[in-house]
A and B are shown apart, each in its own frame.
Chain A
Amino acid sequence: MNWQAIRAIYVFEMSRFFRTLLQSFVSPVISTSLYFVVFGAAIGSRIDQVEGVSYGAFIVPGLIMLSVMTQAISNASFGIYFPKFIGTIYELLSAPINFLEIVLGYVGAAATKALFIGLVILGTSALFVDLTIQHPIAMLAFMVLTCLSFALFGFIIGIWAGNFEQLQLIPLLIVTPLVFLGGSFYSISMLPPVWQTISFFNPVVYLVSGFRWSFFGLADVPIGLSLLAIGGFTTLCLAIIWWIFKTGWRIRQ
């Protein structure tokens, strides 16, 4: 294992994050605050409680998941797409490193950034609503796993993308709708039966549900199923990345 290389990639990627620290830090805080103003105060005041939890608090896990997923994807996809775009990928390809080391470096950094932003949002939320976290370790574990699996997914998008438009395409067309329809802002049980059934085909439902369980002990689906879903998604992404590096798809002609 070339640990020096993993470290080098990780540090290099993190320095990009720190270079834009203000932007990385301020934008999630502002957007979270806006969500609370709109959903928590304006609309939430008309919705008393969802399954015994105040609406303002109920949306916190979903809000964190929304940001964590999109951040993990955009950081990881940009992280590997940018070297392809400007040509510095030659160095990665000619270095004595294997796919696992490249992935650990890039995905590790992207997941760290997403985790950091998730924690910032959690902190911001605590300013607006009373939060109790029933299972803090499970909460953290869910957050870390989500960061990692979506960073892996983002890494695949970054390798697949041939231009900046494609880089935005999947997050915009697939991920954002799945997240919004994944019970971030409502409980699946609030939907008509047909939509409940359809929702269970949305993988994000399992993640948000599991994450919300760690806060309030409430879940749309059993917690085991949530863990299985995130484990399965991670494995699938790893398998695809392994195949990409084995065949050199889109990176090594």
Chain B
Amino acid sequence: MPMVQITNVRKSYAGGFEALKGASLDIHEGEILALLGPNGAGKTTLISTICGITQPTSGTITVGGHDVVTDYRGARSLVGLVPQEINLEPFERVINTVRFSRGLFGKPKDDALLERVLRQLSLWDKRDNRIMELSGGMKRRVLIAKALAHEPRVLFLDEPTAGVDVELRRDMWDIVAGLKEAGVTIILTTHYIEEAEAIADRIGVINEGEILLVEEKTALMTRLGQKELRIELHEPAMALPAALVERGLRIEEGGHVLVYTYDTAQDRTGIATLIREISDAGLVLRDLQTRQNSLEDIFVGLVSKQEDAA
């Protein structure tokens, strides 16, 4: 049984805008799932619908087997949410907001746990500070501390690293890795592809309210991954023999570089033959370079394919 099961969920807002168009997704216990999608793809709506901030128009969602509408107490007590916006009471002290969150989720007072959470997020020294005295990055940590204060089994991070500096982003990734070790299921939305690539186990791509694909990150990379071979030449080639053009070889940088794109999933990549044919054509190699397609390329490819189809 998946930890979170989303079945054919639709969400239309008053005014007719359909933010989710029959999304289905299973999230397994203990995994990190990255939901990737451009702005307005429906990422936040999907999370809000799971967490109870909005109601689905149709379809069902369960968390730990509890339906989020009919058994909302069971479902919500398992879920922690770190919102995208920094929504905090500016005049309140850090420790009080964190304590509030724990109580709100029906958990008894546990100062030792709150200390652990605050220390883990480097907030312990700031516990008596007012929120408004903290930097933007610290405020984000407070949001995470609030979500962790009630010991969620499933944690949603809505664009946790949007607009944070590189150092904090690394910290955030470490925190996520630590939570995963503790057995927490993590769903994060992002439009930084490198983020999904760095920390996710599985990646879901969402666009225009539809989940286009969900796959193991590594499988996704190999299935859709293309590689590029760049061949640097000693002497620039002005024109290529017809045989090489047929193989899809392109000339770049004024003839200094030949570029060959191939699929790593294929049995035969054709590189050996290609190299032989190049030397047969009298061209002298100076250097070789291969480049793996990044998730970004895959992602852009998927989204533009959907737009072409529309």
Contact = CB atoms under 8 A, between A and B. Distances in A.
Contacts of A5: 103-106
Interface string A1-29: 01011011101100110010000000000
Contacts of B104: 4-5, 8-9, 91-92, 95, 97
A8 B87 CA distance: 18
B107 A4 contact: yes
A252 B53 contact: yes
B55 A90 contact: no
The 7 closest A-B pairs by CB, nearest first: A8-B103, A87-B87, A96-B76, A94-B51, A96-B73, A96-B77, A95-B104
Interface residues of B, number: 35
B231 to A, nearest CB: 54
A94 B76 contact: yes
28 contacts: A2-B106, A5-B103, A8-B99, A8-B103, A8-B104, A9-B103, A15-B92, A16-B91, A19-B91, A82-B89, A83-B89, A86-B88, A90-B51, A90-B83, A91-B87, A91-B146, A93-B52, A94-B52, A94-B53, A95-B104, A96-B73, A96-B74, A96-B75, A252-B53, A252-B54, A252-B55, A253-B54, A253-B55
A102 B74 CA distance: 17
Contacts of B79: 94
Interface of A: 2, 4-5, 7-9, 11-12, 15-16, 19, 82-83, 86-88, 90-98, 248, 252-253
B106 A4 contact: yes
Contact of B96 (A12, A86, A96): A12
Nearest to A92: B104
A88 B147 CA distance: 12
A15 B96 contact: yes
Contacts of B91: 16, 19
Given A91-B146, A96-B72, A253-B54, A86 B89 contact: yes
Contacts of B73: 2, 96-98
Interface of B: 13-14, 51-55, 72-77, 79, 81, 83, 85, 87-92, 96, 99-108, 146
Contacts of B87: 86-88, 90-91
Q: Is chain B's interface secondary structure helix, strand, loop, or mixed overall?
A: loop
A97 B105 CA distance: 8
Nearest to A15: B96
Pick the most buried of A12, A82, A90, A94: most chain B CB atoms within 10 A of its CB.
Answer: A94
A111 to B, nearest CB: 20
B105 A95 contact: yes
Contacts of B106: 2, 4-5, 96-97
B114 to A, nearest CB: 13
Contacts of B55: 248, 252-253
Pick the most buried of A7, A12, A82, A96: most chain B CB atoms within 10 A of its CB.
Answer: A96
B103 A4 contact: yes
B103 A11 contact: yes
A222 to B, nearest CB: 44
A16 B14 CA distance: 35
A7 B106 CA distance: 9
A252 to B, nearest CB: 6
B147 to A, nearest CB: 9
Given A5-B104, A91-B146, A94-B51, 16 more contacts: A9-B100, A11-B100, A11-B103, A12-B100, A86-B87, A93-B51, A93-B53, A94-B52, A94-B81, A95-B76, A96-B72, A96-B73, A96-B74, A96-B106, A97-B73, A97-B106
